[in-house]
Chains A and B, each alone.
Chain A
């Protein structure tokens, strides 16, 4: 375990010095994420000019939901996004070999090697917006439920990473990840709206098999309605199930990998 912590410290040092070499890109990324935040806030602001509630949530509650999305997105962009963006090329060019032969868990290496320093600054902006949405909330939430909400959002980051990986693994067979990646980005949009707007089989799917509703919407629901053992147990079960499924799928994918000729 300690070895992995030390290794991650090296990743951080390497990524920071790399980020300083691309200074303009550093600020472009901050600008890009800030625009994403503004657009999402603007969208719900305009929507609430035409309605008083969305899936039973008022504007204050939706603001907490959307700020939670920013937080999850910023953590993902900081820790994972750059690494998974490069993953299909590693498979196609046979560079995955370097990850497989080292005495470190390949998935740890693949997922966390590059730390996005520019997105790390955005994480502070996202935390600021989340704190602001809590402060302006007119009701009483309490520190305990807020802390639990943040923990559940971090679980959401983990689930998001697994889901993204599942959509990238087909590159072992397809040699091309653009389609499955754009499919992931498309389906991911389902997570950017409160899950209670969906109905029937789709809602059940989003809470279980493709658990995009478990990333942000369910934790936010538990924040307002009170965390129940059933709700927390559901998240634990989905997390365990998806971990096993992703690992098995990864192993199957690796069997199709044939190094540089892939």
Chain B
């Protein structure tokens, strides 16, 4: 796929995503509720009971800031509802249309996926910056940590796309796979560290999870962005994500090839 076509598709999708203004603002409110109000009161209650300054490595403010940023990054990493599109296109036979396009289908969808991130990126800045200004980022933060976080964010976004792809490819065999896409979203909420930082898990679970892609979807980019990662942790996250992305890309492509052989283009 030519770069200018890739950019054009992404830009079209970005404009489309930004045109739903009511959705944009309601999303902003729900982020504040999910990312701030619930964790704020939850952790306040826990800190009051324990009468402690820190839980694990986190003060109350650090924990609240972590959950806000993780919730915002979570939206950027997950992106738009790709799962509901690709599998529906297979199910309804709309995929046939794409077979005629002189372009690579997965790259075309990835361009759309990236374009669909526009409202989430705007929200990240619009909601995230005031929270950072209010709660403070701590001593570890620097422009370098911002860059480290951005690199992890790009890799994590690609990883979520690649994790989702085999699920959609299953639509060649199963009639309806949206529940698997929801399952992925639910599971990564916990093992990805959106609900609770992974380093508050039991030590054995924490050590095990670090070798899977899940904590590096949300936990590692959030930690890096807030300047809480050591260089070794950051490098491990990059290495694990790159390795998993290669494996997932191969699995997704193999599954797609097998699925395409079954595709009849008939639709519902």
Contacts and interface: CB of A to CB of B under 8 A. Distances in A.
Interface stretch (A52-60, A142-150, A157-165, A214-222): A52-60
B30 A185 contact: yes
Contact of A28 (B20, B38, B179, B189): B179
A36 interface: yes
A35 B186 contact: yes
Contacts of A226: none
Interface in B175-228: 175-177, 179-180, 182-183, 186-187, 189-190, 195-196, 200-202
B26 A187 contact: no
Contacts of A32: 179-180, 182-183, 186
Contacts of B27: 179, 182-183
Contacts of A21: 175
Interface in A38-67: 39, 42-43, 46-47, 49-55
A185 B189 CA distance: 15
What bracket does the count of chain B residues touching chain A fall in? 35 or more
B114 to A, nearest CB: 20
Interface string A188-232: 011011000111001000000000000000000000000000000
B133 interface: no
Contacts of A25: 174-177, 179
Nearest to B195: A43
Nearest to A174: B22
What bracket does the count of chain A residues touching chain B fall in? 35 or more
A186 B20 contact: no
B266 interface: no
Contacts of B195: 39, 43
A193 B42 contact: yes
Contacts of A202: 37, 41
A67 to B, nearest CB: 18
A42 B180 CA distance: 20
B41 A199 contact: yes
A203 to B, nearest CB: 9
A153 B164 CA distance: 35
A46 B196 contact: yes
Interface in B31-75: 31, 33-34, 37-38, 41-42, 44-46, 49-50, 55-56
Given A51-B46, A52-B49, A176-B20, A182 B26 contact: yes
A193 to B, nearest CB: 6
Nearest to A181: B26
Given A46-B200, A186-B31, A176 B23 contact: yes
B5 interface: no
A5 interface: no
A71 B268 CA distance: 34
B186 A43 contact: no
User: Chain B: interface secondary structure?
Assistant: helix
User: Chain A: interface secondary structure?
Assistant: helix
A98 interface: no
Given A186-B29, A193-B38, A35 B183 contact: yes
A170 to B, nearest CB: 8
A185 B195 CA distance: 15
A51 B49 contact: yes
Contacts of A29: 179
A175 to B, nearest CB: 10
Nearest to B167: A28
A22 interface: yes
A65 to B, nearest CB: 13
Interface string B152-171: 00000000000000000000
Interface of B: 20, 22-27, 29-31, 33-34, 37-38, 41-42, 44-46, 49-50, 55-56, 173-177, 179-180, 182-183, 186-187, 189-190, 195-196, 200-202
14 contacts: A35-B183, A35-B187, A39-B186, A42-B190, A43-B196, A46-B200, A47-B196, A50-B50, A52-B49, A52-B50, A55-B45, A178-B20, A190-B37, A199-B41
Given A42-B190, A189-B34, 16 more contacts: A29-B179, A32-B182, A35-B187, A47-B46, A47-B196, A174-B22, A179-B20, A179-B25, A179-B27, A185-B30, A186-B30, A189-B33, A190-B38, A197-B44, A199-B41, A202-B41
